[in-house]
């Protein structure tokens, strides 16, 4: 009865909507990647990928991290409507302005630097402001998270993924690369209109009264956002360093392909933990001052993740040869199975201890320690990758990645333990004191 009651409570609170949305979004993303490749010629798909990859480099510093700041400070001040709305307005304006500047930079870059594809100026001009438009749509989603509108967030997320897929597919069929890029704006516009018309909390936040933020809060918001941006940027830059170094140090396309196969599933499976973090983040922010609550619920979270991720890791490890042969083809089994199993262990460490710890460090305003840990982990990753790839090839890259996950997990959880235990290392001015 307790289990049934808890499941019912989670369903009413929108937990299964968020996790379900994450699962459906992964399926849509996988299917869209397969279908879009088939409706474009190889040259068209190569052109589209080149343009979007170049533009997506902007997302490394997307909005200078202000969406993270909006979510954090918005959750902290959820009950103060004027301040909450003021934070959202301030953060969104900064983020949109920065992304617009980046869009202008892309247009100038395409005009000055000679590109390897035809009509590059036109294509880059079309794609340049997709990050700014996407930022607004993502901002609507984060406003729903601030209000703990979890069911609405799940619905919004699924519609967004499906609509983006349909828009790109329709544009590609009708007008090739130009259509695929242009129709993305149509999908984003529909999502913004949908959010404002169908979700009262988003509409109230966007058009409701808001206060002008005090200078101290602006400074705290800017510092938090910039440090979060730097932390996320480092994580993204080092994300595929092992694959890159395999290409440089070994230069064997078969080994590169085998490692790419080995890493695909372990990396994709992290969406489960990411979905859970999306659900719990506002709740942990609301109790950030209550160390007893944090201790109890963080341990509960870790226990739950150990169980879920342990089962997933065990199943995929035991069935590794069958999974690789079924999804990627039997030709990959011999070279991919060992790094796959090592990376599944890395998945368990990362999804259970690294990902939630990183988010909770941000939630506790411990963004500077988080950044330091990311820098240490990133540099260690490069050194370990270099040393182990030389000796053990792709297996060495997998060992290095899993080891770095363990290093990050240990360091971040030590910081969290020190904070929860009440260590006076962490003295910071609370936003409530500023107010």
CB proximity list for 126: less than 8 A, separation 6 or greater? 178, 181, 182
CA separation for the pair 371, 27 (Å, rounded): 32
- pLDDT per residue over 111-125, tens digit each? 887 766 666 788 889
- pLDDT per residue over 229-252, tens digit each? 888 777 766 666 777 777 778 767
CA separation for the pair 319, 249 (Å, rounded): 30
Average pLDDT, the chain: 85
Tell me what pLDDT residue 429 has.
Answer: 44
Instruction: Decide if 152 contacts 144 (C-beta within 8 A).
Output: yes
CA separation for the pair 164, 29 (Å, rounded): 10
- pLDDT per residue over 395-434, tens digit each? 999 999 999 999 999 999 999 999 888 766 655 444 443 4
pLDDT-derived band at 89 (thresholds 50, 70, 90) equals: very high
Tell me what pLDDT residue 53 has.
Answer: 67
pLDDT-derived band at 259 (thresholds 50, 70, 90) equals: confident
Residue 159 CA from chain centroid, whole number: 18
pLDDT-derived band at 54 (thresholds 50, 70, 90) equals: confident
Query: How much is the average pLDDT of 23-38?
Result: 72
Hey, is 325 helix, strand or coil?
helix
Tell me what pLDDT residue 426 has.
Answer: 58
Q: Which of 269, 400, 273 is nearest to 323 (CA)?
A: 269
Tell me what pLDDT residue 34 has.
Answer: 62
CB proximity list for 389: less than 8 A, separation 6 or greater? 242, 245, 246, 249, 250, 396, 397, 400
Residue 308 has pLDDT above 80, yes or no: yes
Residue with tokens 């101290």: 216
Give percent of the chain with pLDDT exceeding 90: 45
Query: How much is the average pLDDT of 341-369?
Result: 92
pLDDT-derived band at 57 (thresholds 50, 70, 90) equals: low
Residue 360 has pLDDT above 70, yes or no: yes
Instruction: Decide if 296 contacts 276 (C-beta within 8 A).
Output: no
- pLDDT per residue over 324-353, tens digit each? 888 878 888 888 899 999 999 999 999 999
- pLDDT per residue over 184-227, tens digit each? 999 999 999 999 999 999 999 999 899 989 998 999 999 999 98
The pTM of this model reads: 0.80
Residue with tokens 């890259």: 397
Residue 41 has pLDDT above 50, yes or no: yes
CA separation for the pair 344, 314 (Å, rounded): 9
CA separation for the pair 220, 230 (Å, rounded): 15
CA separation for the pair 309, 94 (Å, rounded): 38
Residue 166 has pLDDT above 90, yes or no: yes
């Amino acid at each position: 009865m307790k289990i049934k009651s808890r499941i019912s409570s989670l369903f009413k609170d929108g937990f299964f909507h968020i996790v379900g949305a994450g699962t459906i979004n992964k399926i849509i993303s996988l299917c869209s990647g397969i279908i879009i490749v088939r409706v474009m010629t190889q040259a068209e798909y190569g052109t589209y990928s080149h343009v979007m990859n170049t533009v997506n480099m902007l997302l490394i510093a997307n909005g200078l991290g202000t969406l993270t700041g909006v979510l954090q400070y918005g959750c902290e001040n959820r009950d103060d409507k004027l301040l909450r709305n003021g934070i959202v307005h301030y953060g969104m304006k900064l983020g949109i302005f920065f992304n617009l500047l980046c869009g202008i930079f892309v247009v100038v870059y395409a005009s000055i630097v000679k590109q390897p594809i035809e009509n590059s100026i036109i294509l880059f001009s079309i794609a340049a402001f997709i990050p700014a438009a996407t930022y607004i749509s993502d901002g609507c989603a984060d406003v729903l998270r601030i209000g703990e509108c979890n069911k609405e967030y799940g619905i919004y997320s699924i519609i967004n993924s499906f609509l983006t897929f349909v828009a790109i597919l329709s544009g590609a069929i009708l007008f090739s690369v130009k259509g695929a890029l242009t129709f993305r704006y149509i999908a984003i516009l529909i999502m913004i209109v949908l959010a404002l018309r169908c979700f009262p909390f988003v509409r109230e936040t966007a058009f409701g009264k808001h206060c002008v933020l005090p200078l101290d809060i602006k400074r705290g918001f800017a510092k938090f956002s910039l440090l979060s941006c730097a932390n996320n940027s480092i994580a993204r830059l080092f994300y595929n360093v092992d694959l890159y170094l395999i290409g440089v140090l070994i230069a064997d396309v078969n080994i590169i392909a085998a490692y790419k196969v080995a890493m695909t599933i372990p990396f994709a499976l992290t969406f489960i933990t990411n979905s859970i973090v999306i659900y719990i983040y506002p709740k942990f922010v609301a109790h950030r001052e209550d160390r007893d609550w944090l201790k109890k619920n963080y341990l509960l979270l870790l226990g739950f993740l150990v169980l879920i991720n342990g089962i997933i890791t065990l199943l995929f490890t035991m069935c590794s040869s069958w999974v690789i042969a079924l999804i990627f083809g039997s030709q990959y089994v011999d070279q991919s199975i060992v790094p796959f199993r090592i990376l599944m262990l890395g998945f368990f460490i990362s999804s259970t201890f690294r990902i939630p710890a990183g988010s909770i460090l941000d939630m506790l305003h411990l963004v500077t320690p988080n950044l330091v840990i990311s820098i240490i982990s990133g540099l260690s990753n490069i050194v370990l990758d270099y040393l182990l790839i030389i000796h053990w090839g792709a297996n060495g890259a997998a060992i290095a990645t899993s080891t770095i996950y363990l290093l990050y997990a240990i360091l971040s959880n030590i910081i969290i333990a020190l904070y929860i235990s009440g260590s006076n290392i962490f003295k910071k001015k609370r936003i409530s004191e500023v107010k």
